[in-house]
């Protein structure tokens, strides 16, 4: 029998008999590896362990401990979910079931329009555990389109996938792939999968939701079951604990409890209003950002909320972003009776371009940094609107920097440094960077321009000495971008700032500046949103701090509680001193027990509660009850003000 040579990740080679599989390769290295193996990657592409290898293949064995294994564990668990549902509900049919971040889902249609209840999840879980315990193998098969249509004759949604012959459901090239666990259960899938169901088991079904087939509201509404799956029991328990903590921190819940913001039905979905306390926090966020931008050489501009359609036709937004815009308003009929179309703006950048173009610019003005808290409007589908983190009316802390090509690299590094410094000032300090490249088929400009812009961003990102990951095809239609990803207090990742290099819009708007050679040159445009949006950043901070804002951001910094009515005048005197020092303070009258008032103030997450009684009146002191600290007695008012001022100054 002839031999094949396999190259391992460390560069070493291993000789195996022809026809050997990934499982054979793992077994040849050692029994522990064979036991832990999940899939193999051949030339970077994942494959089943049962797939035969070829001479010269470069192979990496993915084990249960490898983060890449989670996608395959979750995908395989989704198949087990589908098998359980089809066995428990005869006549049910199924659509798609991909792995997603932290888990998986599967879409179903039950017979006679039935729906799942949360109570059904317990029965489904029990059946899934039986399937896992049965150690059923995932056996791959490939057939023609006509054969696949016959296999899935009773499942119309699978037939749609087969006829479309695209996505994750097919092998490609006209061949349809499927996986069979038993004689009675087969699922359409590109794969790969774990070798058998015994590799699974650390999962939980989370909830039931409705979902349109293929995300299109014109299609039937299906029943979606979400689940989570992990490599070990400990990982699963840790994730479930994180979800409990995340629920406590949900900014929608805390926003109502702390009286920060609301979403009145009369206004519409995704359109928040900020209450006085939320307004204080937002103003403080914005004011500090404004000051830092002024210090960094940004110039403030303002632009209207609506514009004629022609502006977004020139910019290309109507070609590439129309689905995300509100429908036009038809106004200002001309002499022929034809209306002019106006749009609510989804972006600020074309307005800043017109400001740049309003007069001839010189190289001496560059880099020109424009900044605006600009409110924009985007028509998000109702199913994706989520609290403050996904809204339809949002205010971007939007900057556009016009620079020469020679200045571009230094400016990008300066922007990233500024972004990290400012985010740290708001209490976020755990980051990584994501570089999004050209979206094929959805972009304007030459490959050379995209390559140059992408390389400039890559070099700037690498200079930060922060983890950089690639997001192939994730750029905007006009240029690549860097996204700053921040981890919050419980380890969740949020996309924060974005920085985009744009060669295209300066061309579309025919921008130019006079260089030191006296000739006209085209500037480079850098788009930069630091918060992403004020609303989203507000929501992230609420969850990061669990509503307990640091003293400098807290809407009420101090509450003064007189022990009894006799101490009320002194309590107001203390409050007046604090207000005179710029402190946001309230007095809570002694109309109920002191204990109840302290508990209420703590529930409102006020940084400092001051209690004043007979001794304090006599000695001009206060009792200090700090959030998360020990109670102190007989603290001079002046000393407390100094301490509070220091706390605010260091953004505590």
510-520 tens-digit pLDDT: 999 999 999 99
Q: What is the tens place of the pLDDT at every residue in 413-447?
A: 999 999 999 999 999 999 999 999 998 888 888 88
Mean pLDDT over each residue of the chain, to the nearest integer: 93
Query: ∠316-319-321 over CA atoms, to 5°?
Result: 90
- Does 398 qualify as catalytic in the annotation? yes
Domain 3-63: CATH superfamily is Beta-grasp domain (3.10.20.30)
d(CA 77, CA 70): 10
Q: What is the tens place of the pLDDT at every residue in 57-76?
A: 999 999 999 999 999 999 99
pLDDT of 167 strictly over 50: no
SS3 label, residue 367: coil
Longest dimension (CA), the chain: 100
Beta-carbon count within 10 A of 33 CB? 14
Pairing state between β 621-626 and 139-143:
unpaired
Mean pLDDT within 204-233: 93
Q: Are 339 and 333 in contact (CB under 8 A)?
A: yes
Q: What is the tens place of the pLDDT at every residue in 476-489?
A: 888 899 999 999 99
- Does 378 qualify as catalytic in the annotation? yes
pLDDT of 172 strictly over 60: no
- Polymer length in residues for the chain: 652
What CATH architecture does domain 69-241 belong to? 2-Layer Sandwich (3.30)
Residue 485 is given by DSSP the state E
Q: Are 442 and 477 in contact (CB under 8 A)?
A: yes
Candidates 132, 63, 73; CA nearest to 99 is 73
Give the pLDDT band (50/70/90) at residue 338.
confident
CATH number for the region 558-649 comes to 3.40.50.800
Enumerate the CATH 3.30.930.10 domain ranges in the chain, comma separated.
Answer: 273-544
Enumerate the CATH 3.40.50.800 domain ranges in the chain, comma separated.
Answer: 558-649
- Does 336 qualify as catalytic in the annotation? no
The number of CA neighbours under 13 Å toward the Cβ of 312 is 23
Instruction: Give 439-445's long-range contacts (Cβ < 8 A, gap of 24+).
Output: 439/473, 439/474, 439/475, 439/476, 439/477, 440/473, 442/320, 442/477, 443/475, 443/477, 443/478, 444/316, 444/477, 444/478, 444/504, 445/478, 445/479, 445/503, 445/504
Token digits of residue 441: 């088929």
d(CA 637, CA 643): 10
Candidates 516, 292, 499; CA nearest to 401 is 499
pLDDT of 169 strictly over 80: no
Point out the catalytic residue in the list 199, 481, 559, 605. Answer: 481
Point out the catalytic residue in the list 251, 527, 544, 597. Answer: 527
Q: Are 373 and 534 in contact (CB under 8 A)?
A: yes
pLDDT at 475: 87
Token digits of residue 86: 């089809």
- Does 400 qualify as catalytic in the annotation? yes
d(CA 286, CA 148): 58
d(CA 272, CA 432): 30
- Does 360 qualify as catalytic in the annotation? no
Candidates 369, 436, 364, 429; CA nearest to 397 is 369
SS3 label, residue 175: strand
pLDDT of 337 strictly over 80: no
Pairing state between β 558-562 and 585-587:
parallel
pLDDT of 544 strictly over 70: yes
SS3 label, residue 410: helix
Enumerate the CATH 3.10.20.30 domain ranges in the chain, comma separated.
Answer: 3-63
Point out the catalytic residue in the list 107, 398, 488, 616. Answer: 398
Alpha helices (runs of H) in 323-446, residue ranges in sequence order: 349-357, 408-425
350 vs 651 pLDDT, higher one: 350
Point out the catalytic residue in the list 251, 378, 438, 544. Answer: 378
Point out the catalytic residue in the list 282, 400, 438, 544. Answer: 400
- Does 527 qualify as catalytic in the annotation? yes
Point out the catalytic residue in the list 83, 136, 396, 407. Answer: 396
Mean pLDDT within 88-107: 95
541 vs 170 pLDDT, higher one: 541
pLDDT at 164: 83
Token digits of residue 167: 């996505």
Residue 184 region by backbone torsions, left for phi larger than 0, else alpha for psi between -120 and 50, else beta: alpha
CATH number for the region 273-544 comes to 3.30.930.10
Give the pLDDT band (50/70/90) at residue 367.
very high
Candidates 167, 151, 158; CA nearest to 213 is 158
Point out the catalytic residue in the list 199, 349, 559, 597. Answer: 349
């Amino acid at each position: 029998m002839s031999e094949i040579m396999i190259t391992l990740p460390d560069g070493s080679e291993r000789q195996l008999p022809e026809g050997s599989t990934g499982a054979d390769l793992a077994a040849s290295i050692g029994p522990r590896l064979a036991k832990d193996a999940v899939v193999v990657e051949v030339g970077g592409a994942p494959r089943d362990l049962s797939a035969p290898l070829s001479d010269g293949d470069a192979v990496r064995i993915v084990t249960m401990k490898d983060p890449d294994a989670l996608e395959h564990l979750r995908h395989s668990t989704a198949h087990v979910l589908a098998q359980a549902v089809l066995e428990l509900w005869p006549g049910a049919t199924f659509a798609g079931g991909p792995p997603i971040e932290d888990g998986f889902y599967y879409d179903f249609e039950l017979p006679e329009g039935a729906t799942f209840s949360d109570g059904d999840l317990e029965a489904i879980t029990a059946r899934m555990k039986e399937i896992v315990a049965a150690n059923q193998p995932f056996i791959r098969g490939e057939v023609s389109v006509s054969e696949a249509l016959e296999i899935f004759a009773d499942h119309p949604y699978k037939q749609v996938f087969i006829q479309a012959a695209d996505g994750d459901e097919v092998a490609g090239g006209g061949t349809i792939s499927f996986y069979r666990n038993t004689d009675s259960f087969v699922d359409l899938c590109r794969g790969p999968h774990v070798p058998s169901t015994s590799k699974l088991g650390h999962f939980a079904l989370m909830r039931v939701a409705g979902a349109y087939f293929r995300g299109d509201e014109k299609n039937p509404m299906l029943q979606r079951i979400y689940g989570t799956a992990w490599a070990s029991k400990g990982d699963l328990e840790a994730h479930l604990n994180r979800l409990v903590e995340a629920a406590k921190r949900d900014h929608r819940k805390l926003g109502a409890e702390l009286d920060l913001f609301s979403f009145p039905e009369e206004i519409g979905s995704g359109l928040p209003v900020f209450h006085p306390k939320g307004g204080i926090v937002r103003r403080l966020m914005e004011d500090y950002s404004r000051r830092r931008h002024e210090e960094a050489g940004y110039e403030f501009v303002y632009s209207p909320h609506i514009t004629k359609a022609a502006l977004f036709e020139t910019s290309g937004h109507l070609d590439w972003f129309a689905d995300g815009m509100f429908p036009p308003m038809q106004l200002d009929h001309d002499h022929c009776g034809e209306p002019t179309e106006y749009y609510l703006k989804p972006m600020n950048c074309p307005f800043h371009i017109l400001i740049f173009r309003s007069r001839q610019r010189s190289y001496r003005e560059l880099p020109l940094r424009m900044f605006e808290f600009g409110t924009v409007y985007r028509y998000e589908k109702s199913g994706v609107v989520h609290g403050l983190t996904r809204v339809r009316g949002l205010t971007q802390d939007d900057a556009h920097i016009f620079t020469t090509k020679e200045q571009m690299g230094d400016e990008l590094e300066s922007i990233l440094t500024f972004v990290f410094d400012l985010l740290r000032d708001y209490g976020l300090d755990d980051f990584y960077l994501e570089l999004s490249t050209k979206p094929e088929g959805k972009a304007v400009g030459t490959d050379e321009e995209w390559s140059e812009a992408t390389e400039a961003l890559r070099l700037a990102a690498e200079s930060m000495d922060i983890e950089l990951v690639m997001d192939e095809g994730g750029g905007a239609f006009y240029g690549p971008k860097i996204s700053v990803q921040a981890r919050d207090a419980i380890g969740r990742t949020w996309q924060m700032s974005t920085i985009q290099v744009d060669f295209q819009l300066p061309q579309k708007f025919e921008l130019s500046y006079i260089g030191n050679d006296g000739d006209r040159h085209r500037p480079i445009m850098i788009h930069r949103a630091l918060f992403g949006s004020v609303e989203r950043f507000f929501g992230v901070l609420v969850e990061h701090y669990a509503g307990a804002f640091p003293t400098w951001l807290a809407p009420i910094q101090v509450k003064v509680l007189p022990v009894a009515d006799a101490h009320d005048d002194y309590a107001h005197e203390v409050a007046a001193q604090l207000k005179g020092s710029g402190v946001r303070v309230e007095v809570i009258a002694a109309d109920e027990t002191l204990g109840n008032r302290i508990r209420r103030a703590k529930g409102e997450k006020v940084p400092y509660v001051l209690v004043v009684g007979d001794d304090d009146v006599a000695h001009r002191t206060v009792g200090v009850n700090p959030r998360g600290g020990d109670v102190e007695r007989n603290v001079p008012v002046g000393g407390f003000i100094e301490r509070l001022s220091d706390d605010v100054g260091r953004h505590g």
